[in-house]
Structure 1
Amino acid sequence: MASFADLPLRRRRRAAGAGTDVIQKAALVLAVLLAAAALLAPLIAPFDPLGQSLIARLRPPLGFERYSAGHLLGTDELGRDVLSRALYGLRLTMSLALAGALIGLLVGGTLGLVAGLRRGWAEDTIMGLVDMQIAVPFTLIALLILALLGSSMTVLVFVLGIAGWEQYARIVRAEVRRLAAQPFIEAARAAGGGTIYIARHHLLPNIVSPLVVQFTLALSNIVILESTLSFLGLGVQPPQPSLGSMVGLGRDYMPTAPWIVLAPAALIILLTFAVQILGDWIRDRADVRLRER
């Protein structure tokens, strides 16, 4: 029986492409379902995520003994419904990730545009800041900021927003430098177009694709960062649920009530998987060089 390596190159590419398409479609469906669950959390959550019932504490999910009616995924140490808290936690985690990615896009994109258009001290200063952030693990920076300024929601959004701005800045600067040497930019300058006009009408429309790709990839990184900070007790504070804080609060009950951790941990894995696959799919469609292979 012929192996996969013995097949002609075209057939191998077609078979590999078919498998990739299936994964990408599954990731798209998963992302839509997760987004719908987050948006509709107030409607589909069976219980109040903050409601406590000490009588029903640490009840297992459906199918186990001592199951409490209505609590499909069980209850936590305070008798709160795990499913309801996971849905609201997914809603908050996705909201924080979107806010952080948007802030990073605006800050990094603006600074990258300035670095690409302005030579001299402005470019050196911005790229120096980029190199500094790349050199130091951002988790340490986030822990320092939260320790100094507190773990309020405003500070948390700020920390998530500056988590990946340097990637946007590097991408925008490189694209602006590449486009600046193109004939249509020189023609726009010869026609009397100013820097702002050229940036708005000629540069920004041509760098949308790489920014969209980076935005999707940054989302999953911010989800993991928020979950890490909340797990350490420096992110979203109780009783407000987020996926990371649920895992952090439930880790002490892993030997006796693992369902408290499994539901939010599974959502973190599924969410990051879906976003990463979609980011790769967008990159494949946006990059002409990859489409031609």
Structure 2
Amino acid sequence: MAEAVVGNTSARPALLAHAARIWGDANGVQRAAICVAVLLLIVAAFAPFIAPHEPTAQSLISRLRPPIGFERFKDGYLLGTDELGRDVLSRSLHGLQLTLILAALGATIGLLLGGTLGLVSGIAGGIVDDVVMGAVDAQIAIPFTLIALLTLAIFGSSIEVMVLVLGLYGWEQYARIVRGEVRRLMAMPFIEAARAAGASGGRIAFRHVLPNAVSPLVVQFTLSISNIVLLESTLSFLGMGVQPPTATLGSMVGIGRDYLPTAPWIVIVPAMMILLVTFAVQILGDWLRDRADVRLRDR
């Protein structure tokens, strides 16, 4: 027991030192992105406790009230109210939480689907490779927004269908990355040595090949999150996303566009959150790429 405690306590300084080293290697923009990302995650995680009102609570006598500092401001509604008298701040916080959940689930499904197909395609080769790469080429050739709109029009705009649609977005990128890495790694001497030692195809795939393809997948995962956030916002803006009264950042922008000339705060608040999310994720994705790629890191 004493040895376990000592081990845990000794690991903390090493972890803190590693975090300090990462922070020291980052430039000003990257540090700002880290701070924004951490803040957004904390706010999203504790949205039900931070939000001053229920996101669906209506007060028609308080509709279209401006944020604090303007005339007709109503106490308790710091960022104003929307067309139904709902608190914009509370809906934005809950919308941020749901938007990040949808983005994380969608990116995870895309990673698992595309990564698995890319791994199978690269190792099996032959007709399997031709079929998978043909599906990848077809996916790239067809604008995904059209596929998403058609799917949502047929199966509805429930959260479950939305997660499935978002999960299909970008799978071809994962498949191409993993296939390329697998084809490169399969020609390496250590793979030949594993084969000579009698390792099965599954062992080679999951023990030797997949761990060496993790770095580009992590980078692609971070970049996919911001793209999925924008896709969800686009679908919600077009009225095909998560349906009212459930709030997402995109749906708030889509509904608020009709009131933009008279009540711009309905759109500005969720739009700024979308901007912050995409900024933080894109900067961190580029940063992870630079740290993971030895060629870029050594320049």
Does TM, scored on the shorter chain, surpass 0.5? yes
Q: Who is 2:210 aligned against?
A: 204
Instruction: Say whether 1:27 aligns with 2:26.
Output: no
Deviation at 1:136, TM superposition (A): 1.1
Deviation at 1:47, TM superposition (A): 0.5
CA distance in 2: counterparts of 1:219 and 1:33, whole angstroms: 17
Q: Who is 1:104 aligned against?
A: 110
Deviation at 1:232, TM superposition (A): 0.8
Q: Residues 117-136 of structure 1 correspond to what in structure 2 (within 5 A)? A: 117-136=123-142
Instruction: Say whether 1:235 aligns with 2:241.
Output: yes
Which of 269, 280, 286 is the matching residue for 2:275? 269
Which AA in structure 2 matches 1:67?
A: F
Instruction: Say whether 1:146 aligns with 2:152.
Output: yes
Q: Who is 1:171 aligned against?
A: 177
CA distance in 2: counterparts of 1:140 and 1:99, whole angstroms: 21
Deviation at 1:20, TM superposition (A): 7.2
- Structure 1 residues 44 and 94 mapped into 2: Cα distance closer, same or farther (>3 Å)? same
CA distance in 1: counterparts of 2:25 and 2:105, whole angstroms: 33
CA distance in 1: counterparts of 2:149 and 2:83, whole angstroms: 27
Deviation at 1:225, TM superposition (A): 0.2
Task: Detail structure 1 runs of 4+ shifted over 4 Å in the superposition.
Answer: none
Q: Secondary structure at the match of 1:132?
A: helix
Q: Who is 1:253 aligned against?
A: 259
CA distance in 2: counterparts of 1:162 and 1:58, whole angstroms: 38
Question: Can you give the 5+ residue segments of structure 2 that lack an aligned partner in the other structure?
Answer: 1-23
Deviation at 1:19, TM superposition (A): 12
Q: Who is 1:162 aligned against?
A: 168
CA distance in 2: counterparts of 1:19 and 1:29, whole angstroms: 15
Instruction: Say whether 1:185 aligns with 2:230.
Output: no
Q: Secondary structure at the match of 2:27?
A: helix
Q: Who is 2:298 aligned against?
A: 292
Task: Write the deviation string for residues 23-70 of structure 1: whole angstroms up to 9, x where unpaired.
Answer: 000001000001111001011001010000011111000000110001
Task: Write the deviation string for residues 196-254 of structure 1: whole angstroms up to 9, x where unpaired.
Answer: 01111101111110000000000000000000001111111000000000001111111
CA distance in 1: counterparts of 2:31 and 2:140, whole angstroms: 33
CA distance in 1: counterparts of 2:25 and 2:262, whole angstroms: 40
Q: Give TM-score scaled by structure 1 length.
A: 0.93
CA distance in 1: counterparts of 2:250 and 2:25, whole angstroms: 32
Q: Who is 1:38 aligned against?
A: 44
CA distance in 2: counterparts of 1:260 and 1:67, whole angstroms: 14
Task: Write the deviation string for residues 121-159 of structure 1: whole angstroms up to 9, x where unpaired.
Answer: 111110000000111111111111111111111111110
Q: Secondary structure at the match of 2:291?
A: helix
Which of 47, 60, 69 is the matching residue for 1:63? 69
Q: Who is 1:12 aligned against?
A: none
Q: Which moved more, 1:114-123 or 1:18-27?
A: 18-27
